[in-house]
Amino acid sequence: MLEHTVSTQPIEGQRPGTSGLRAKVKVFQQPHYLENFVQAVFDSIGDISGQTLVLGGDGRFYNREVIQIILKMAAANGFAKVLVGQGGILSTPAASCVIRKYKAFGGLILSASHNPAGPDEDFGIKYNMGNGGPAPEQVTEAIYARTLNISEYKILDCADINLDEKGEFSMGDMQVEVMDAVADYAALMQELFDFDAIRGLFAQDFSFVFDAMHAVTGPYAKVILEGMLGAPKGTVMNGEPKDDFGGGHPDPNLTYAHELVDILYADDAPDFGAASDGDGDRNMILGNHFFVTPSDSLAVMAANATLVPAYSKGIAGVARSMPTSGAVDRVAEALGIDCFETPTGWKFFGNLMDAGKVTLCGEESFGTGSDHVREKDGLWAVLFWLNILAVRQESVEGILADHWATYGRNFYSRHDYEAVDSAAATQVLQNVRDQFDSLKGQTLAGRVVQMCNDFAYTDPIDGSVSENQGVRVLFEDGSRIIFRLSGTGTSGTTIRIYLESYEADTSKHGLDAQTALKDMIDAANSISKLPELTGRDKPTVIT
């Protein structure tokens, strides 16, 4: 085996976004592209000699080839050991679990999350810290800075290892352990939840369908739901991971998880339905003919946390991303605990959890989690809901109706306009910024505008500042219109418009969200000039 130092030169566009570096597969397959970025990571995270790295991904196209390259580079750069999921598989929350359990130095997670997969689709890579959470901005910026002046990378010239066989292997002086991808995560779930109560739920006349969307959570769901908890065989649909996710878009929302939605809105619909995404960190919760928004899901989980063994003594606090509705804020106020509002991006929750400030956190983009790991966790959220259902013995719709009667309902929706011309998308937000002063005090959508701003966040733990995190129009009654450009896609720009209106009157809680928010939708289009600038007369996705 020979260690090679390969000459290279910087490649443009390798700045990690909120979830690492994402690009088309063909971009990652360019000479030196992957190697430059991985070397930049290794050069930027501290002294890695003798340390342990965790490695795995969501199984998308090019996953296995990238793992072999990273293993050889890790060996050449001085890592003592790499823990890699069998078959190259590790869901994102499972990777966080493994990093924390084995006190690894950090981990590389190969995923583009909910983006499509295949030879012409997307790939991604991100670095997670020793706490199991995504690298903070100061680290990702250091990685990017290194990509701008990189001149060489190190790699071992050796044979590939068999990723399908569990066991320990040598790669130069480095040990590679191919480990069961599910076992450690499943053991952690058993510690958190009342598995006996959930088994009892499945023993009743309770029907449930989980859609793994041919993505990474299939093996996890089969072991935990159908194996450990005794759910009937076939409860997990689309449970075989495929490198193109079966040609689907593994984003668990009402548009892309339409197969599951059709089942839950059929005449013979089951009691409960759920889905997870490409890398297993997102979730969608459905009842019989009923959709639970991620914002409401977080609020219900916070309100019912003491029904779950791991949280039975109460929760320290909650956090939500700024665009997420204020539903959980009302629960926090009632419980007398802190509620933090952060920018979008799970890494912002890490400091709060490490400091013991929050226990539960979530984002409106179908992500919820707790301090058991440092990533959002789709299957964990489903188990949390199963635990609540097992204890309360009520329907999903009944639980939500009771919650709204107690706290009021935050009507909420997100409108996504995908693959928009970047210049037009930027102008949409600028149009709103240009009206910040004139809108204040004006009546818009039947509500008085209290203030407008670009959201900025000062981390209460480390004092770091994140600016320009979303354009906000805030109303005196607590309603909000928010505009953001998303950094999770690889083609064009996604404009996201978030609409929220609070309603205390229980007689109006049964309204459809799009109906309840119609005047705010019209107002958002009017002040931003989005239809005129983009040529779009409706969103790509509504959630």
Which residues are part of the catalytic machinery? 113
Contact 116/143 with Cβ under 8 angstroms? no
Using a 10 angstrom Cβ sphere, with 0-12 exposed, 13-18 middle and 19 or more buried, the burial of residue 288 is middle
Whole-Å CA distances, 52 to 107, 146, 163, 494: 9, 22, 18, 37
Strand pairing category for 317-321 and 360-363: parallel
| 402 alpha carbon, distance to own chain's centre | 28
Residue of 232, 280, 290 whose CA lies nearest to 382: 280
Residue of 181, 254, 243, 244 whose CA lies nearest to 211: 254
Q: What angle do CA 146, 172, 139 make, to 5 degrees?
A: 20
Whole-Å CA distances, 267 to 79, 263, 293, 509: 56, 9, 22, 23
Residue of 9, 88, 82, 13 whose CA lies nearest to 487: 13
Using a 10 angstrom Cβ sphere, with 0-12 exposed, 13-18 middle and 19 or more buried, the burial of residue 131 is middle
Rounded CA-CA distance 418/218 in Å is: 27
Residue 493 host element (H or E) = strand 493-503
3-state secondary structure of 282: coil
Contact 111/278 with Cβ under 8 angstroms? yes
